[in-house]
Amino acid sequence: MTSYRERQELDGKYPIPAWLRFVTAVMRPLLWPFRKWVWRTRVGRIGRVGWLEGEGRFREAFDLALESASLSLRPLRTARCAGNLGAVEQQRVIDLLASAPAPGGLARAEVLEQMSRWRWRDGDAAGAIDLARQALGADPTWPYGRITLAFYGLKSGLADPLPPLIEAVRSDPEALRHIESSFKESPELLTALRKAIPTA
């Protein structure tokens, strides 16, 4: 499975050309009469799940994503939709994750992090922290999983938020901007982070 760092390297080597956005905008109305056929393709299903999710039609998006599980259809989208539905759907995502063939990578880390949000929302801080740590195990190069873990640690008092933030910035210096906007209410923590990473 691809890690965050590998994906960043690929994006740097093979950036999406600007002209592709123009071609996509032109092709969309041309393909509209063939939409039923397009929506059956892998790319079409990914797009349709995203569109349904954006429209707030989480049940339809979730069902389509589950139908397409054999196509490895964006597990994070499935998890996000499940988070807007209920415990039964969330359990189905957990079951899918447990039966996934590959043990790690960014996709698994993102789903575990999303599942940690369900636990946090239900008031289970320890369970949320445990799942956030599992997300780090799935992809140690992903800085945003560390930021989530730091947030849980800060709000619950069950873990020191500074070490994961330091590692997040070391993993990707661009993460600092996200940290600064997410932890505005903790200026002492941000000061300690800047001292710990003098180049930041």
DSSP string, the chain: ---HHHHHHHHHHSPPPHHHHHHHHHHHHHHGGGHHHHTTSHHHHHHHHHHHHHTT-HHHHHHHHHHTGGGT--HHHHHHHHHTT-HHHHHHHHHHHHT-SS--SHHHHHHHHHHHHHHHHTT-HHHHHHHHHHHHHH-TT-HHHHHHHHHHHHHHSSS-SHHHHHHHHHH-TTHHHHHHHHTTT-HHHHHHHHHHSTT-
Q: What per-residue confidence (pLDDT) applies to 95?
A: 64
Better-scored residue on pLDDT, 86 or 185: 185
Q: What pLDDT, in 10s, does the model give residues 123-133?
A: 999 999 998 99
Q: What per-residue confidence (pLDDT) applies to 70?
A: 47
pLDDT score of 39 more than 60: no
The reported pTM is 0.64
Q: What pLDDT, in 10s, does the model give residues 102-124?
A: 556 777 788 888 889 888 988 99
pLDDT score of 198 more than 70: no
Better-scored residue on pLDDT, 26 or 194: 194
Average pLDDT over residues 76-100: 67
